[in-house]
Amino acid sequence: MGGESERIDAANVSAYASDASVSHYAAQSSLQVGERAVLDALGLDLAGTDLLDLGIGGGRTTAALAPLVAGYVGLDYVPELAERARARFPGVRVETGDARALEHEDATFDLVLFSFNGIDGVAHEDRLQILSEVRRVLRPGGRFWFSAHNRGWSRFHRLPWQGRPRPGRVMLRKSYEAWRARANRRRLRPLEVHTDEYAIVNDEAHDYGLLLYYVAPEAQVRQLEAAGFGDVRVYDQWGSPVDAGSTSPESIWLHYVARS
Ligand SMILES: C[S@@+](CC[C@H](N)C(=O)[O-])C[C@H]1O[C@@H](n2cnc3c(N)ncnc32)[C@H](O)[C@@H]1O
């Protein structure tokens, strides 16, 4: 079996491309509470902004943001999702592409967004490559805004059950979903990675069908700074500013906004 990158891609691309996943993401259309709060806090002039929206899924953020900005490009590496978003929003530019190898010219965008922890779906070296690619396509002073799973979350050590009884009951139910969840868990759990800097975990998302990166805010800020970003701001999942030195135990994911 290939390296870490190939193993993670094999799991995550097929989970995101499943019929259930495509239907789920194509039914979404509004910004999350935390996303609205971060947007307000940033006070951006969206009307003058060229936006690259990475990992758009079925176009949830396309619906909310494309009408507000000067230029909009949406992109996803799952062709089925990009196709659904294209069909939903005729006239909006939606590309099939990979955030690790962007085909855009240097200094093309004012804002790059990777929403709802989409960046967490790739291996560690690939994540660093995404940071570098995003910085390359941003204009000087442009911003990268993304969310990412928080390794400092108080229930991280209780994954995959996340401290709630529901998954246990799901696993016991004699249903196809429970069978699939069990099969996914058996297949993916041995591929988990735990290091001092990050963990790649098979949590309950998509019926245990994904391997997702979790990182504490301090380590995430260090990665951004190493990639050349500055002025990094961190917000909790509801959009309140947090100190990057704290672990933010109440938030399963955090928002990061950094300047190129
Ligand atoms: C959790 S889903 C979120 C979808 C959408 N942003 C939303 O909030 O509804 C993550 C998305 O990121 C996409 N994605 C993950 N890694 C990617 C990569 N390297 N390049 C492009 N898209 C990627 C997945 O295909 C998926 O659509």
Residue by residue, DSSP assigns 63-84 as HHHGGGSSEEEEEES-HHHHHH
Residue 160 DSSP one-character state: T
Region 35-50: mean pLDDT is 95
Examine the pLDDT at 2 and tell me if it is beyond 70: no
The tokens describing 51, both together, are 């936006």
pLDDT at 40 over 80: yes
Q: Which of 8, 14, 54, 253 to mutate to test the pocket of ligand 1 (most atoms within 8 A of CB)?
A: 54
pLDDT in tens, 202-219: 998 998 999 999 999 999
Would the CB of 22 count as within 6 Å of ligand 1? no
Q: Give the mean model confidence (pLDDT) for residues 227-246.
A: 96
Residues 228-257 have a mean pLDDT of 95
The arithmetic mean of pLDDT across residues 225-247, rounded, is: 95
> At residue 201, does pLDDT exceed 80?
yes
Mean per-residue pLDDT, 9-19 = 97
Is residue 98 lining ligand 1, measured as CB closer than 6 Å?
A: yes
Q: Is the CB of 59 under 6 A from ligand 1?
A: no
**pLDDT value of position 177:** 77
Q: Tell me how far apart the alpha carbons of residues 255 and 115 are, in angstroms, rounded to a whole number.
A: 9
- The alpha carbon of 21 is separated from its chain's Cα centroid by a whole number of angstroms, namely 15
Asked whether residue 226 carries a pLDDT value surpassing 90, the answer given is: yes
Who contacts 195 (Cβ-Cβ below 8 Å, separation ≥6)? 124
User: Which residue among 6, 75, 77 has the greatest number of ligand 1 atoms within 8 angstroms of its CB, and so is best to mutate?
Assistant: 77
Q: Is 81 in the pocket of ligand 1 (CB under 6 A)?
A: yes
Residue 122 near residue 133, CB atoms below 8 Å: no
Task: For the chain, list the domains and their CATH numbers.
Answer: 4-149+216-259 (3.40.50.150)
Q: Which residues contact 36 (CB under 8 A, 6 or more apart)?
A: 239
CA of 37 to the centre of ligand 1 (A): 21
pLDDT given at position 160: 60
**57 C-beta closer than 6 A to ligand 1:** yes
Instruction: Count the helix, strand and coil residues of the chain and give each as a percent rounded to the nearest 5.
Output: 45, 20, 35
Buried b (16+ CB within 10 A) or exposed e, 165-203: eebeebbeeeeeebebbeebbeebeebeeeeeebbbbbb
Sign of CA dihedral 218, 51, 68, 27: negative
**DSSP-derived 3-state class of residue 26:** helix
pLDDT tens digits for 140-166?
999 999 999 999 999 887 766 544 545
Ligand 1 centroid to Cα of residue 77, in Å, is: 7
What average pLDDT does this structure show over 15-34?
A: 96
**193-202 average pLDDT score:** 96
Give the per-residue pLDDT at 163: 46
Confidence of residue 1 (pLDDT cuts 50, 70, 90): very low
